Amino acid sequence: QVQLVESGGGLVQAGGSLTLSCEARGAIYKINSMGWFRQAPGKEREGLSYISSYDNRIFSADSVKGRFTIARDSAKNTMYLQMNSLKPEDTAVYYCAATVPTPPNGLDPAEWDYWGQGTQVTVSS
């Protein structure tokens, strides 16, 4: 089993920055990739970016390229999402996820195996 624990959410003004963290616990050796998703009220869960645990290759959705940056620290078993130039429409619950043991089929939430509990990000105008 893999457990994912997010932290770092909160309230920020538009134009501000926030960094989310996701610590992986348990059978971390099984993890192929880790990614970030978000879900705003009344909307479907949206994939943002993911990173391979093997070669650090990154895939990001066009909606966040240039503003959000994914990274990982293998020594800490932790993945990060640095979010800059935040907008009110970025308000959502942000989730981290992991696939085991194979690579994900893109950012389709249905393809991901393990999920964190989510952390709320609210961007005020």
pLDDT at residue 47, as a whole number: 96
The pLDDT of residue 82 is 98
Tokens encoding 100? 């085991």
Q: What is the pLDDT of residue 99?
A: 95
CB 26 within 8 A of CB 100: no
Please list the ranges in the chain whose pLDDT falls under 70. Answer: none
Contacts with 42 (C-beta within 8 Å, 6 or more apart), sequence order: none
pLDDT for 90: 96
Q: What is residue 54's predicted lDDT score, i.e. its pLDDT? A: 87
Q: Which two tokens stand for residue 36?
A: 């970030």
CA–CA dist 59, 46 (Å, integer): 14
Residue 78: the pLDDT is 97
Q: What is the DSSP letter of 85?
A: S
Specify the pLDDT at position 36: 98
- What pLDDT is stored for residue 1 in this prediction? 92
Q: For residue 95, give both structure tokens.
A: 């989730």
Look at residue 102 in the predicted model and tell me its pLDDT: 85
- Model pLDDT, residue 103: 84
Find the Cα–Cα–Cα–Cα dihedral 34, 40, 41, 43, rounded to 10°.
Answer: -80
Residue 104: per-residue pLDDT: 87
